[in-house]
């Protein structure tokens, strides 16, 4: 779409250079945009304004020469010079029916591109400690990570989704102890929970399950420690919740599997001269690489820090051949970024291959009033609770409505409302509505062939309304690549709301199925099919269903 407009412009520039009206041979970073106002055309470019300083001539003068050459293209209806030197390009309706044809042909693939060129990227997200159920913050990370992975895939990247299991540190030990204490409690002992022990009811559940397994003389009786058992149980809970949320990972990477690799990583840093000993601890010279201060890798007591395993983990990712890394972290970890980047640089990598997306806080609301979360009891609102209450679709959509690094108010009541004010229903409704229109049409025995073979079938689509809607569809392709480039899945929700809105307006303004005008009906039904396709493709990127009935 935009590509071919860019082609028209560069052809015009080439022609101008050939006939000598443009003399500078410098590359210019041309911007092609879609003007807000229809009188400024379908596309507009600032190329003349960029050339003006190089040519040392008035922008409007240059624009006039280029506009003439642009108008010569057979897809261009007319081309005008406006304002300080914009060139506004008006395309022929046949251009737009061509676009519609493309949507229909590509169907489920419309929106995909080769932008990523098969580059291997890894998206690591959620990575929650297996010490408790997932809460809503994890849910937001899961929704963003999964949607981003879908978008990157659509944009032509080779994507791997990974969950990093923190199963080596002290917190897993605390988990094991917590379960063990509850186990002994069930056996009649008096117990006292320490400050670091987990107090949620899920701990009791695990303790009970453990006892049951023991009674049955299960496999876990001897070989496996209660700590491993608890960790496994927690993980399976996490997997279940993620499955309920529709999120699947390609890899589950265990921190404990790193072990020797941590020493290797430290050794490599030492060889490269980034490590020194002080006060009985081993330090990493991160300050020289952009961090606020140097960091400890091995504590005076001999334990390796969490940071040390994180270095080893990222090193391992790169050894696995990923050319791009995406880490999705809670916003409270942003202080961590500088040291991780420092470690990549120290290991000899360009740290720009790592992108970190920070997930800001979610405030749960109920009709505008914040939902209290008992901090003392340690009872967070779990992701599972929210999925069960508002449904998976609404939950995912709401998590994706704001850009990741902006705080999000999640109103449970709004998410459940089946009304205009709820964007999920608004978008899904447009899909269901189209399905219903198509049913209606076939009941009236207006049948569409499975494939459009002749573009002239679409030629009745020439009104302003028809063209506007097709334009909206065409924007989807570049939206997807843009979202991939900037790693901002939230824009898909805005786009879908706009497209759904455009369709609803169109529907109210135009009779689609009409028995008198068969040609118009057929063409419009194809337009409906294309809108439905794009809505479905967009929702699929978000991991939200596209219902045929609601």
Partner RNA sequence: GCGCCUGUAGCUCAGCUGGAUAGAGCGUCGGACUACGAAUCCGUAGGUCGGGGGUUCGAAUCCCUCCAGGCGUACCA
Determine which residue in the list 229, 336, 476, 526 makes contact with RNA, applying CB under 7 A: 336
Q: How far is the CB of 437 from RNA (least distance, A)?
A: 4
Q: Which of residues 69-108 bind RNA (CB under 7 A)?
A: 82-84, 86, 88
The reply on whether position 533 binds RNA by CB under 7 A is no
Residues 6 or more apart from 410 whose CB is under 8 A from it?
136, 362, 363, 364, 365, 386, 398, 399
* CB nearer RNA, residue 268 or residue 498: 498
One character per residue 493-512, x = contact with RNA (rule: CB under 7 A) = -x--x---x--xx-xxxxxx
Using the rule CB under 7 A, give the single segment among 61-69, 259-267, 278-286, 461-469 that binds RNA. 278-286
Q: What is the CA radius of gyration of the chain?
A: 29
Give 538's contacts (C-beta < 8 A, 6+ positions apart): 111, 476, 492, 495, 496, 499
Q: At its nearest, how many Å lie between RNA and the CB of residue 59? A: 7
For the CB of residue 459, give the shortest distance to RNA in the complex, in Å: 20
Query: Does the footprint of RNA cover residue 38 (CB under 7 A)?
Result: no
Rounded to the nearest whole angstrom, what is the least distance from the CB of residue 538 to RNA in the complex?
Answer: 15
Smaller CB distance to RNA: residue 248 or 418?
Answer: 418
Say how many residues touch RNA, by CB under 7 A: 93
Residue 535 interacts with RNA (CB under 7 A): yes or no: no
**Interaction residues for RNA, span 217-276 (CB under 7 A):** none
Which one of 55, 205, 468, 488 is in contact with RNA (CB under 7 A)?
488
Measured CA to CA, the distance from residue 26 to residue 368 in angstroms comes to 56
Distance CA 266, CA 312 (A): 8
DSSP string for residues in 328-367: EEEGGGGGGHHHHHHHHHHTT--GGGEEEEEE--EEEEET
Q: Which residues pair with 328 in a beta bridge?
A: 357
CB atoms within 10 A of CB 221: 12
Q: Quick count: other Cβ atoms within 10 Å of Cβ 430?
A: 23
Cα 59 from Cα 443, distance rounded (Å): 58
CB of 292 to RNA, least distance (A): 5
CB of 477 to RNA, least distance (A): 12
> Under the criterion CB under 7 A, does residue 407 sit at the interface with RNA?
yes
Q: Which is nearer to RNA, 19 or 515 (CB)?
A: 515
Smallest distance from RNA to CB 286, Å: 11
Kindly tell me which of 288 and 300 has the beta carbon lying closer to RNA: 300
Q: How far is CA 341 from CA 16, 215, 358, in A?
A: 47, 50, 15
Asked if 30 and 2 count as a contact pair (C-beta separation under 8 A), the reply is no
- Which of these segments, 226-234, 238-246, 329-337, 537-545, binds RNA (CB under 7 A)? 329-337
Q: Which is nearer to RNA, 103 or 441 (CB)?
A: 441
CB contact at 8 A, 199 and 193 = yes
Could you tell me the CA-to-CA distances from 160 to 52, 167, 249, 326, 353 in Å, in that order?
46, 21, 8, 10, 15
Query: Is residue 550 part of the contact set for RNA (CB under 7 A)?
Result: yes
Residues 178-217 that bind RNA (CB under 7 A): none
Among the residue ranges 26-34, 178-186, 377-385, 529-537, the one whose residues contact RNA (CB under 7 A): 26-34
- Choices 155-163, 262-270, 376-384, 414-422 (CB under 7 A): range interacting with RNA: 414-422
Using CB under 7 A, pick the residue from 240, 436, 456, 459 that binds RNA. 436
Query: What's the CA gap between 503 and 500, in Å, rounded?
Result: 5
Of the pair 224, 363, the CB lying nearest RNA is at 363
429 binds RNA (CB under 7 A): yes
The burial class, CB within 10 Å (0-12 / 13-18 / 19+), for 386 is buried
Report how far residue 449's alpha carbon sits from residue 523's, in angstroms, rounded to the nearest whole number: 12
Closer residue to RNA, CB minimum distance, 320 or 444: 444
Backbone phi, then psi, for 281, in 5-degree steps? -115, 165
Indicate the residue among 29 and 352 with the shorter CB distance to RNA.
29
Residue 51 in 3-state DSSP? helix
Q: How far is the CB of 404 from RNA (least distance, A)?
A: 9
In terms of CB distance, is 317 or 433 closer to RNA? 433
Greatest C-alpha distance within the chain: 96
> Token pair for residue 452?
């459009």
Candidate list 74, 195, 367, 421; residue touching RNA; CB under 7 A: 421
- Owner of token pair 């455009």: 502
With respect to RNA, which residue has the nearer C-beta, 211 or 281?
281
C-beta of residue 423 within 8 angstroms of C-beta of residue 401: yes
Nearer to RNA among residue 360 and residue 462 (C-beta):
360
29 binds RNA (CB under 7 A): yes
| Cβ atoms of residues 473 and 100 within 8 Å | yes
- The answer to the question of residue 370 lying near RNA (CB under 7 A) is no
Stretch in the footprint of RNA (CB under 7 A) among 186-194, 295-303, 341-349, 383-391: 295-303
- Is 463 near RNA (CB under 7 A)? no
- Alpha helix (H) residue ranges in 487-542: 490-509, 518-542
- Among 109, 201, 248, 292, interactor with RNA by CB under 7 A: 292
């Amino acid at each position: 779409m935009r590509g071919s407009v860019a082609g028209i412009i560069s052809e015009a520039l080439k022609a101008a250079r050939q006939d000598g009206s443009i003399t500078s041979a410098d590359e210019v970073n041309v911007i092609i945009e879609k003007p807000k106002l229809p009188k400024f055309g379908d596309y507009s470019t600032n190329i003349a304004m960029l050339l003006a300083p190089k040519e040392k001539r008035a922008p409007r003068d240059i624009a006039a020469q280029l506009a003439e050459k642009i108008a010569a293209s057979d897809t261009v209806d007319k081309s005008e010079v406006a304002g300080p030197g914009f060139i506004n390009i008006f395309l022929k309706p046949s251009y737009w029916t061509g676009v519609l044809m493309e949507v229909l042909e590509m169907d489920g693939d419309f929106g995909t591109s080769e932008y990523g060129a098969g580059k291997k990227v890894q998206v690591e997200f959620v990575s929650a400690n297996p010490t408790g159920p997932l809460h809503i913050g994890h849910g937001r990370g899961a929704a963003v990570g999964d949607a981003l992975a879908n978008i990157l895939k659509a944009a032509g990247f080779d994507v791997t989704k990974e969950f990093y299991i923190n199963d080596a540190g002290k917190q897993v030990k605390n988990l094991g102890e917590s379960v063990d204490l509850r186990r002994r409690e069930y056996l009649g002992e008096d117990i006292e929970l320490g400050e670091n022990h987990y107090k949620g009811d899920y701990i009791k559940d695990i303790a009970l399950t453990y006892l049951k397994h023991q009674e049955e003389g299960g496999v876990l009786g001897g070989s496996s420690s209660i700590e491993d058992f608890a960790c496994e149980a927690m993980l399976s809970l996490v997997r279940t919740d993620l499955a309920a949320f529709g999120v699947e990972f390609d890899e589950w990477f265990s921190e404990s599997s790193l072990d020797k690799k941590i020493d290797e990583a430290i050794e490599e840093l030492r060889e490269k001269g980034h490590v020194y000993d002080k006060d009985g601890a081993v330090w990493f010279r991160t300050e020289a690489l952009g961090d606020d201060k140097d960091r400890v890798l091995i504590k005076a007591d001999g334990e390796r820090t969490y940071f040390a395993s994180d270095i080893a983990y990222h090193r391992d990712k790169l050894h696995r051949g990923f050319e791009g890394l995406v880490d999705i972290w809670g916003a409270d970890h942003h202080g961590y970024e500088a040291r991780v980047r420092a470690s990549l640089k120290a290991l000899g990598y360009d740290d720009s291959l790592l992108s970190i997306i920070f997930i800001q806080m979610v405030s749960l609301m109920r009709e505008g009033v914040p939902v209290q979360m008992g901090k003392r009891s340690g009872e967070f609102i779990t992701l599972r609770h929210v999925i069960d209450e508002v449904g998976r679709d609404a939950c995912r959509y709401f998590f994706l409505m704001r850009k990741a690094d902006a705080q999000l108010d999640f109103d449970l009541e709004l998410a459940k409302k089946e009304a205009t004010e709820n964007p999920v229903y608004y978008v899904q409704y447009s899909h269901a509505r189209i399905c219903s229109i198509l049913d209606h049409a076939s009941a009236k025995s207006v049948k569409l062939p499975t494939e459009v073979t002749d573009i002239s079938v679409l030629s009745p689509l020439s009104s302003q309304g028809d063209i506007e809607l097709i334009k909206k569809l065409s924007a989807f392709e570049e939206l997807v690549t843009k979202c991939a480039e900037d790693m901002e899945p939230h824009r898909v929700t805005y786009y879908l709301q706009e497209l759904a809105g455009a369709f609803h307006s169109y529907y109210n303004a135009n009779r689609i199925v009409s028995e008198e005008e068969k040609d118009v009906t057929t063409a419009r039904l194809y337009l409906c099919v294309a809108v439905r396709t794009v809505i479905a493709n967009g929702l699929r990127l978000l991991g939200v269903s596209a219902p045929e009935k609601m």
